[in-house]
Amino acid sequence: MTQPIYLVGARGCGKTTVGQALAGVLGYEFIDTDQLLLSTTGRSVAQIVESEGWGGFRAKESAILRSTTGGRKVIATGGGIVLSEANRRCMRANGTVIYLHAQPDILARRLEAFPEEDQRPSLTGRPIAEEIAEILLAREALYQDAAHHVLDASSSPDAVVSAILQRLHPCAAG
């Protein structure tokens, strides 16, 4: 049975954009855990956090992650999914985990261009560039711990998809 490909990384690294493109190339189903959470609960990340706090959101996020194991899927995860050791173990044991790494200034530029506040609530209340640098510093080791492969996500989505395909199928990269 084919295992899922999990994309992890900070907000703005391109997990959804790259994931959709990768799934299309591979003929896999695409799942965005934040969107799946929205469709199953009828509430956005921001709404869940407002009513249940980050702990309540993280519990729901973990349940959604567990529901995605198995099959031909590309799964774009929420940026904080790696905060749970159980989530990191689940992804590593049930699929291939790819960390899409980008520098804080690139992430901040992307988030400023496409804010999506309702889906991406501020974690610190600070300006986005400061918040991203702080969050990335705090989570870098967790992303590394979860990942089978670490890829530079600062280039175009097509280039990132090509790099992923080369990592997944080195003999076919020709």
The alpha carbon dihedral of 139, 94, 24, 76 has a sign of: negative
What total number of domains does the chain contain? 1
pLDDT at 171: 73
| Residue 54 is assigned to a structural domain of this protein | yes
Which tokens sit at 106? 């690139």
What is the span of the domain harbouring residue 133?
A: 5-167
pLDDT per position as a tens digit, 48-62: 988 999 899 999 999
Predicted TM-score (pTM) above 0.85: yes
Q: Which of helix, strand or coil describes residue 29? A: strand
| Residue 172 is assigned to a structural domain of this protein | no
Burial class (CB in 10 A: 0-12, 13-18, 19+), 150: middle
For residue 70, which phi and psi values (nearest 5 degrees)?
85, 145
- Look up the CATH number of the domain holding residue 129: 3.40.50.300
* Cα–Cα distance, 111 to 123 (Å, whole number): 13
